[in-house]
A and B are shown apart, each in its own frame.
Chain A
Amino acid sequence: MELLVKNGFVYDPLNKVDGEIMDIQVRDGRIVGRVSSSAEVIDASGMIVMPGGVDLHSHIAGSKVNVGRLLRPEDHYWDVVPKTPLTRSGVGHSVPSTFTTGYRYAEMGYTTVFEPATPPLKTFHTHEELNDIPVVDKACFPLFGNNWVVMEKLRDGKLNECAAYVAWMLKVSKGYAIKIVNPGGIEAWGWGKNLTHMDDEVPNFGVTPREIIRGLCKVNQVLGLPHPIHVHPINIGTPGNYRTTLETMRCVEDLAKDGKPCIHITHVQFLAYGGVDWLSISSHADDIAAYVNNHSHVTVDMGQVIFGDTTTMTADGPFQYRLYQITHNKWVNADVEAETGAGIVPITYVRKNYVHAVMWAIGLELALLVKDPWKVYLTTDHPNGGPFTEYPRVISWLMSNKVRQRIVKKIPRLARVRSNIKDIDREMTFSEIAVISRAATAKALGLKDKGHLGVGADADISIYRINPKTIDPSSQYREIRRAFRRAAYTIKDGEVVARDGKVVKTPTGRTYWVDPQIPQDQMARTVSELKDRFEDLYTVRFANYGVSEVLLPRSTPIPAQSTL
């Protein structure tokens, strides 16, 4: 099967192509140098051609997301998706059903989406849902930051054993990266408590958040994983938390090697607050951005807030309880034995609300103040800041100071004073948008065949009905939003899967997972030790734990070479 995408303005930052008119050739799902004359032709003249979107942090699947769906029938009623001869029915808005999730990503030109938090004990559930998310490629990040075995090994200084355990866990859960959420704080939440300092000791475990982050950062390097530790630090959503965020980034500064990132701080908008309470909250995006600008070992993603109704959900149980206390909305808590927790609270971000307006500003400030777009990625921490379907809106905000300032005029005066957004006039280019939404995210995830259109890459391509020569994104932000909302074409593995924002084909995407290669005797020791104490940790048997590869329809393991 061959495809020729002709005459589009191509934005392929990884290959340093910046809006040149080029043809892209596809054969058998991959980008190739040339195709035969019988190739199907897509005339992309007057349109933008980019690699398919790659989202590295979006809560789309798993037990927590599903309880979010269960919690919010009122969120589904007004956004319904009927069945068609091709597509399944479903519901949308802030926590869409699985089929709808896949379609809506594809309709926006996204082809790869990673679920960033799964409790290993329930990761089979996550994969079952990922299996039901059509079109896109996907993966999930198991949670390690409050795992009992991890904390014990790090306390005892047994780094290699910890690494072997993490390797085993990634293998059995079919996970992709090490996710850390509120390290140690969720274990403390097992007793209704939380940790607020990097050097607080986790009750009963004798380790600190700092030691957990550093330890897992080292484990990550030892295992040679493709993505650095993916960290949601302590004190999220708390005024004054920019200090712990900086401390979190600093705490692994010395571990960086070869100038490569060794930590990803996620949804950093929720982590850049100054002030001492909600009345004095202010933006410290500038401090965070300055640190990121001056260091090569850290990357971040935005976690942009969208005004409107959405559902917050994180593994951070104590944070979600605090959010309940603030909002008095309905609250879900879901602790997971020996591993982690989760919480869910619906929220409505209101433009006229001073705190929400500051949050809105911070997300944009971070994206715009971090000079190198390869270090800051487009996310809303779906659905925490807002649903992923609002990405086009965020793109329009990043590309147009005009629309930003229009909104700035409508937010409370105090929010204007306590943020920097009014003074930032940077407007991102199409190339920069391509970086933050596909090229850099694919690179950060270590997906070598994604995020670019060079020969050999997966033929995941999105084409948008925008002529960069004639449009002025600064004033025509509505057109930008519209065009990114409905891709003219979304091509997945060389096949057109969506046309003009409508799904036309529903292939099954890959499930990526990392298969760390560690010495067999080390793995055998880990397994035997775990088997011996498994009953002490869990209420399920060792044999019934984990995810069998045969249950993943397009299992795509990525070997990682460890130095164990």
Chain B
Amino acid sequence: MILLVLLGISLFFAVVLAFVGDWRYAPEINIAGSAATFSAGVVLALHVYLYGPMMVGHKFFFVDAFNVYLAVLTSFVSMTTAIFSRRYMRVERAHGRVGRWKMRFYHAMYQLFIFAMLLALLTNNFGVLWISMELATLSTVLLVSLYRTPTAIEAAWKYFILCGVGIAQALFGTVLLYFAAERVLGVGGEALLWTNLSQVSNQLEPTVLRLAFVFLMVGYGTKVGLVPLHNWLPDAHSEGPTPISAVLSGLLLNVALYALVRCKVLVDGSTGSHTAGRMLMGFGLLSILVAAFSLLRQKDIKRMFSYSSIENMGVATFAFGIGGPIATFGALLHMLVHSLTKSAIFFTAGHASQMHGTQEMDKIRGLISGNPVVGWAFIFGAIALVGMPPFGLFASEFLILTATIKDAPLLTPLLLLGLGVAFAAIFRKVQPMVAGAVPPWQTPLKAAHVPVLLHMALVLILGLYMPRFLSDWFHMAVGILK
């Protein structure tokens, strides 16, 4: 029940905002909608935490520890992003970059996007999972090109085509999966349900699943932004309005990775080997290295952080690939803290570029003196992002690295290289932006402090004092993904 409410709210608000999205209180409505979604999500989470996994609507929805925490995360970040976008879009509108229709469209699509992601997370059916992934893409494509600048349109087009092609591969994989499942579970909708598949995964036909996983890997991997399928990501994440960049980097990637991991569990279950895991490790490592080195030569602030998203997703993918309790725990934690940190970073980056009227990092200077909250949040966000304590990403990277050196010691030098380069690259750019005196072209700005501070506080807490229930969740999830 609560689950349907959870899904319903965002859909409902999507419709509402489609009509009143340009009203002057539309942002507040948007916030209210996401807040409601969030509270529903919390209730659902509590329910799962107390009574364990559950299935709703003729096995159509399935909630377990793994996806419920992602659902809560998604609704939470979408709420804070809504709060942020209130201030942000107001400034954008004042600058005349978006008009009434665009505001409408923006708000409606925002809610639709959240709906798509929640559906993808909560559904039990691989087919529906695919559909909602596609829906999530489609709902954001036009948001990326919201500003109608040539680069924005180019980015959106690449996003549309590349993800479309990728996701098509995923559908083919799903067909193959269905094909294999049907021969065990019989014809009909039952055969695509995760709950059934996960039980019989060891009876599924390995050859077929291996083939299927190739397509699923390429399909969902494209959406995770794994090298070499990542090319759309920096463009799409840097050209759209910042709130969209935040949710794309912070949430959509997670959802895609979630889909990928579910498939991986099935495939490894069926083949009984570690094939899929190794594939994930390979893609993850490649992504880390390529992203790290690409970071070195960035000029555009949002583009740089999109690359760091690729890097961090690579880390998480790699960790899932390793498997084993420690690494999986680390990967789950990494998904969580990364999306919190990355969205916070995007908030501050957005404000920074608004203050300087450009996204070029060489023009952004003296943030701490200009706007202390933004400045400090920015530098601490960067510190958290590169995996320094006492922030949460350190905890996850700590677990992942130690697990790596236990299970795949020969890869650690590469990992060390990647993380080191990424650190150097990001700090090389961030430091001058926060430090120094205020440049003449900087304009003061009423920044949205709440979301940033909230996220940073959470990341800090997760690094210093992770609540017991969260780790219980993670342990449950680890059990599921074994």
Genuine A/B complex: no
- Taking Cβ atoms with an 8 Å cutoff, the residues of B that contact A are none
- Taking Cβ atoms with an 8 Å cutoff, the residues of A that contact B are none
